Structure 1
């Protein structure tokens, strides 16, 4: 008969706590009357964890590739259940009380996250750095970037529809696997819910595999890389807006501000902000399209327009207009210099033409390069014609 639920535990030298977890999981299956299995994804234990798990009736699958994510990917691949509930095998989660997870999965949720902050964190179960900084900040970043209704982004106890999650193409091997699952589930349109769960101090007699700063950075890095808007586009647009505003205010003449006078030096910095912002925004747009092309990101309205309706010729006209504007300002500067008999000019006057001229020239080249690259991506999107 088909297996409804696989309770999956990644394992690396957990002989001290693994029996408690396996027995608790088996007691839940028996009490709830669920046809299921307990599966241990072993990542190369040398303390006899495999034999202990098998002696208690769990199924053990060896996963040679090292890493938390690698162990879980191997376990998901080997699972027999329609649903999978995964959790660490360090006795910090109560596998005997998985009822809310299974109820949510049976109700149609495709990813069910545990929320330790809602269910209760026992004293000493979570370091203060994780409880008050790491988890709240990373969870906020995840909700902001990906609109995910999850308050505890990195809870290790979670359940999911196995086929739906396998279709996401999860690939990371480290601790960032926890973020990858939530992010790709959100981008893939999976139905996500959250239920309270508890966290107890783990029962290990050794330090945890988690390294706070290293793994925290890997989580943040993953969130940034999968959101080109927040990594590139929004910072770029902010720089363009601020730089353009500054240039508009300073170009007519010196600008008094409190006790200082803003002049051509500030104008140069504003121009640099416009150029840097345009580069970031262009990279963000191209990364979004390329992410869709490679299957890393789902299509959006922008990518659909960019891949179907973008016209190279129109973009080249905009680039040409920018270059012509630059050339006009260069010529006007030359005429002023010629009128002065090629004598030394006031830098404050000349630079008010030179800085915008250089800015327009660089923007024209950037627009041209970006337009050609986007057209190149369009060719990759086009379906080959039948012979």
Structure 2
């Protein structure tokens, strides 16, 4: 268990964790600002610098200004934060960057809700104010608003600034979130996990100032924005796979049922076997997407990226390899039967020219069922492979 609680010989209430990679220009002022906030507000606190391999003397600056240095050898933003948080002695932890972009005089704004029972306190830069030059226009007006909106929709969280780097949480909440990512996705995973676990999340206004360093930031807006978006989508198989899959499956089945008896005319437009082929494609893609939704959620739970879901676990226990083989076999038999009927129709014409609008009404659903049968069998085996790891996993109730 990570040593997040105060040790026996200390009485620290708040730990401020700053990830650090060559922050010599701004690190000292950030530490001084945080310690001054502790003193002015009567907070029993410490500053932990999680150094990720600095080569500019940041380590000496950290200790000289009264911070506790925690070397973290595993590279990456998430790894640095994890190392610093796991070394924290405070009952509450606040994390923030060491580039002077955040105002650590606002630390009391974060600890007050935590004392009142909040489990995650997010800073909101848009409520507190973004100073001129502090955020590129594409981040301020496109990236952050779009990603925050998607986070609210996908995970039903009220957070207005999904990617504010200044945030606080209790040690117990951190344990419950069981964060796993090691890179920039660490910040997104924290908010997503808090939402999925039903933690009490609140926002407080904070200010974003221009970066105080004399070099380009570590962040790359388009690359890192895509990484956050990709992570949110992969963390939400319901929206990425299930809902689109159900829509395609329903649309394809509806169109196919309407077209199987014969051509369908709507005004001057006639839909025939060509549309039936696209309907079959929609059914197939929808079926695959639904299967991927189940498999990806299964993997996420096993990997500890999502909390266990009792209803989903019951459904997965019922979806045995044997049941999948039976269902896949039944689809194969139906598809084979329709394919034989198409061949029989061809034989009735002396294996000569056929009327495509008649024969394809057997061949298209037949090939669709054959394909779905094969996919059902293959995905059942894949699910069986995922179940081979029988080691205990506290993140999943299906061991």
Q: TM-score, normalised by structure 1?
A: 0.91
Q: Which residue of 2 aligns with 1:119?
A: 128
Q: Secondary structure at the match of 1:170?
A: coil
Q: What residue is the counterpart of 1:143 in the other structure?
A: 152
Q: Which residue of 1 aligns with 2:264?
A: 255
Measured against aligned partners, the alpha-carbon deviations of 1:340-379 in whole angstroms (never above 9, x if no partner) come to 2332111121111100111122222333444455466567
Aligned partner of residue 212 in structure 2, secondary structure:
coil
Moved more, 188-197 or 198-207: 188-197
Aligned positions of 1:346-365 closer than 5 A: 346-365=355-374
Q: How big is the alpha-carbon RMSD for the aligned residues of Structure 1 and Structure 2?
A: 2.3
CA distance in 1 between partners of 2:50 and 2:385 (Å): 43
2:231 aligned with 1:222: yes
Matched with 1:64 is 73
Query: Is the 1:38–1:58 Cα contact (8 Å) retained in structure 2?
Result: yes
Unpaired stretches in structure 1, ≥5 consecutive residues: none
Q: What is the match of residue 235 of structure 1?
A: 244
By how many angstroms is 1:320 displaced? 4.2
Deviations 1:31-80 (A, max 9, x none): 11111111211222222222222222122222222222121111112211
- What displacement does 1:157 show? 0.3
Q: Residue in 1 aligned with 2:339?
A: 330
Q: 1:49 to 1:319 in 2, by over 3 A?
A: closer
Is residue 6–residue 79 contact of structure 1 (8 Å, CA) maintained in 2? Answer: yes
8 A contact 2:178–2:304 mirrored in 1:
no
Secondary structure class of the residue paired with 1:113: strand
Q: Is this contact kept in 1: 2:237–2:296, CA < 8 A?
A: yes
Residues 1:162 and 1:241: Cα distance change in structure 2 (over 3 Å): same
TM-score normalised per structure 2: 0.88
Q: Could you list the per-position Cα deviations for residues 129-187 of structure 1 after superposition, in whole angstroms to 9, with x for gaps in the alignment? A: 11111111111222222222211110000001124314433232322211122122223
Q: 1:260-275 to 2 correspondence within 5 Å?
A: 260-275=269-284
Match of 2:179 among 154, 170, 184: 170
Contact 2:179 2:305 in 1 (8 A): no
Provide structure 2 residue ranges, at least 5 long, that are not aligned to the other structure.
1-9, 393-399
The equivalent residue for 1:277 is 286
Aligned counterpart, 1:294 = 303
CA deviation profile, 1:266-322 (whole Å, cap 9, x unmatched): 221221121121112112112222332333322224422224444666555544443
Matches within 5 A, 1:32-181: 32-181=41-190
